[in-house]
Structures are given as C-alpha cells and as structure tokens.
Amino acid sequence: MRSTTPNDVHAIADAVILDVREPGELAQARIEGTLDIPLGELVERVEEVPSDTTVYVLCHVGGRSAQAVQYLESRGVDAVNIDGGIVAWHRAGLPVTLGGAS
C-alpha cells in the first residue's frame, strides 16, 4: 500500500482527497473540497470515487484510510493513504476548517 504525507498531497494541484471519517468528525475539522464517504458506506458508494485519477485517502490518524485504500486498490482505483490523517494535516499547518458549519 502506498502512502504519502499531508504536505505532499497539499502540494498537488486539484488532488482528489477522499475523507472516510464519520459526519460528526467532519463537523469538528474538515478539509474543504474533499469527497466525504464514511468508511462504513464506501462499499455501497464506491461508484462515487473517481477511477481515472489518483485518490488520496484521509481519516483521523490513518487506520480507516488504510482499510479504504486496500479496498479501493482491489477495485482497480489508484489510491494512496495520507499518513497521520487529519491530525497530521492540522499539525503540519495545512488549511483545515474547524467547527461545524451552520
């Protein structure tokens, strides 16, 4: 399984980021412009994931995204795990929207 750092993903113009966290987690902290599909819904919603580009997968710290990457790879999607998840993304000082949107 391939993985990369938050800084490397942020440097990619128009990177497709799949966030597999739950809605409650997204309400606390999220990255604008992500494709949001909770891990538990990924099998049913896999058709929403682009198959013609690399997809960078994010969760809280990296466990669920690793599972999602393995599943997506089995479906022929070029998927890469983002090491450390949203926690590492935030710690790297990259843009995160904190708090719920009304």
Q: Point out the residues that are catalytic.
A: 59
Residue 39, phi then psi, degrees to nearest 5? -50, -40
Residues 65, 49: Cα–Cα separation, whole Å: 14
User: Distance from CA of residue 54 to its chain's centroid?
Assistant: 12
Q: Are 82 and 3 in contact (CB under 8 A)?
A: yes
Residues 11, 23: Cα–Cα separation, whole Å: 26
